[in-house]
Structure 1
C-alpha cells in the first residue's frame, strides 16, 4: 500500500500547498492583530482567528517533523520549523523525540521492577495532574508522593473529569514551558529564543495596539491562547484516549500496536481542516510521512487491508469518541 500511495503521488506536497501554508503562517496572526486594533466585534473575531491559527501552526510543524515537506534536517525544513517555533511558542527539540516514540508504541506500557505499569508512550499520562487510564493509577499515585503531587493527591483524582476541559485549555502554556526548558538544556539557543519571543512579542503587540487599556489587549492574547490550546489538545485526545493501554511485550508488532490504540473520527472538508487531517489518525499512524491532504483518501483501502489482515479498524463519531474519553477518565479517577 505504501508503494501504491507513492505511485499515486500521495507522499508529495505540491509547491502551491507549501506556499499556501507559508502564507497562512504569516497572514492569519497579522489579520488577527489588525482586527484587534479595530476593537469590539472585530477584535473578538481576531481572537477567534488567532485561536484557530495556533493548532493550524502546530499541524504545519507536525507535517515538517514527519518529513512531509523534505527530510527534517534539510535547510528548508529547519527554517520552517524555526518559523513555527516563533508562531507557536514551542519547538521541535522537545516534542519530536517523544512524538516518534508515541508513533512506535502508541498507548504502550512496560512493567517496572517495582511491579508498577509505567508508560513508554509519555503522551498517555500526565502525572501528577491527570490519570488517563485506570491501569496507570498506581504509577500516578507514586508520582504524587512528593512536592506538588502530594498537594494534588486529594483534589485531582476526584474531580479530573469535570476539570478535564479547563486543563486542556491551559495545555499550550505547559507545552511552551517544557519546550523552552528542553531547548535550553540541549543548548538549542535559537529555538529557545524564538519560543520566548512568541510570548514577549505577542503580549507587547497586544498591549500596544488594543484601542482600550493595555490589559484588554493582554486578555485578548491570553484568550486566544486558551482557545488554541483547547482545540489542539481536544483533537489529540480523541485519537487514542479510551483505547487499549497495553504492555508492549504483549503486542505482535508495529501494525498490531497501531490498531490496538488508534481510532478515527469523522472525515469531511471541515473536519479535515480543523484537525489538520489527524481525524484520519489510523492512516497517519500507518503512513506517517503521507501528505495530510491525502489521509482521508487512504481510509477505504486501509480499512480493507487491516480487516483482511485481522486487525480492528475503529471509527467513532465525535460524540461517542468524547464519551469514550470521559469514561476512561472516570474509571481512572475511581481506580
Structure 2
C-alpha cells in the first residue's frame, strides 16, 4: 500500500511544505532517539556481525566441497553474504562503530574490502554526496540538469530519469558511447535486471581503480584479493573440474549483486530529480527523494534496515536495527509539515522504478 500525498515523485504536488518546521521536528526527534540510545551499536551486536562476516563464506565454501545440491545451497548462501557484508561496511562508513578513522573501524573496513571486494575510498566520497543531495542536481552553464548525486548518473549505460536525458546525451562523447546510445534507450528496461546482477563487478572495479589513483594500494590489494583467493579456493574445493568452482563463485557474485541492486534501487529511483539550489535545506532534500518499503523482522534483516530509507536519510548515523522504530514519528512529522511520506510495497516500488526507466527511455 502506498502512503503519500501528491504524485509518485514524492514531493511534486505537495502544497506549501514547511522546510523550517521539518528541520525543527527532525532535530527534536534526533535528540529523543539519542536519549533512547538508538544511535548505539552494542558490543554484542558488533561481535555478531563479525561472526557473520567470517562464518557465512566458510559455510558456503564447505557446502561447495560437498557438491550437488549442497553446492547450490552454498552459492545461495554466499550470494546472501555479499549484501549482508555490504550493509556492515555501510554501517561502519556511517560511523556506527565510532569515527571511521579510528583503529577498529579502519580494521573492519579492511576486512569488508577483503570479504566483499570493494572498498571505502571510492564508496564514502560518492555516498556522502548521495546523502547530502539525494537525487539532487545542479543546473550547468548550458542550462542542463547535471547530477550531484552520483547514484543517479550511469551515463552512457542507463538514463535513470527523463529529467537527465539531455545530460546523458551530452555525456556520450566517445564513439562507442554514441553507438551505445542508439540501443540503450530502447533496451534499458529489459536489460535492467541483468545490469543489476553486474553491480558487484562494477563496484569492485571502481573501488580498485579509485584506490590505486589515490595511492591506497593496501585497500586495492584487499579488493583484488577477494577475487583472486575466491576463484582459487572455489577451483580447489569443487568436487568437479576447477572451472566448475569458478562458475559457482561467479554465479554467487551475480545473485548477490542482484539482491543488493534491488535493495538500493527501490529507495530513490522514480522519486523527484530536482535542482538542489531550489531545495529548502538538508531535511527538505531527504523528504523530496526518498521512499520506504515494508518493514518486518525478515525484511529488516534482508535489506540491512535500508527498507527504512527515509529514517536512514533523516538520521544517517542511527544504528540500523532502530530505524524502523522511528517510522511512525518520522511519518507524523513529515505529514504535519506538508511533506509526502512515501511508503510502497516492494512490487509497487519496483513498478515505479521500471516506469521511471521507461519514461526516460522515451524522453
Per-residue deviation, 1:38 = 0.2
**Does 2:311 match 1:283?**
yes
Aligned counterpart, 2:296: 268
Per-residue deviation, 1:233 = 1.0
Aligned counterpart, 2:78: 50
Equivalent positions of 1:159-174 (< 5 A) are: 159-174=187-202
Equivalent positions of 1:57-72 (< 5 A) are: 57-72=85-100
Q: Residues 129-174 of structure 1: CA distance to partner in whole angstroms, max 9, x if unpaired?
A: 0000001011111122314312211111101000000000001101
Aligned counterpart, 1:106: 134
CA distance in 2, matches of 1:102, 1:250: 17
Between 1:82-91 and 1:145-154, the stretch displaced more is: 145-154
Equivalent positions of 1:1-335 (< 5 A) are: 1-335=29-363
SS at match of 1:219: helix
CA distance in 2, matches of 1:191, 1:145: 31
CA distance in 1, matches of 2:143, 2:317: 37
Greater relative contact order, per chain length (Cα 8 Å cut-off, separation 6+): 2
SS at match of 2:138: strand
TM-score by length of 2: 0.91
Per-residue deviation, 1:287 = 0.3
CA distance in 2, matches of 1:9, 1:116: 44
CA distance in 2, matches of 1:327, 1:145: 27
Any gaps of 5 or more consecutive residues in structure 1? none
SS at match of 1:94: helix
CA distance in 1, matches of 2:205, 2:275: 30
Per-residue deviation, 1:3 = 1.1
Q: Residues 156-212 of structure 1: CA distance to partner in whole angstroms, max 9, x if unpaired?
A: 110100000000000110100010000001111110000000000000000111000
Per-residue deviation, 1:312 = 1.5
CA distance in 2, matches of 1:6, 1:296: 15
Any gaps of 5 or more consecutive residues in structure 2? 1-28
Q: Residues 68-121 of structure 1: CA distance to partner in whole angstroms, max 9, x if unpaired?
A: 111111000000000000000000000101101100100011111122111000
Q: Residues 220-257 of structure 1: CA distance to partner in whole angstroms, max 9, x if unpaired?
A: 00000001111111110000000000000111111111
- Deviating beyond 3 angstroms after TM superposition, the runs of 4 or more aligned structure 1 residues are none
CA distance in 2, matches of 1:140, 1:301: 39
SS at match of 2:266: helix
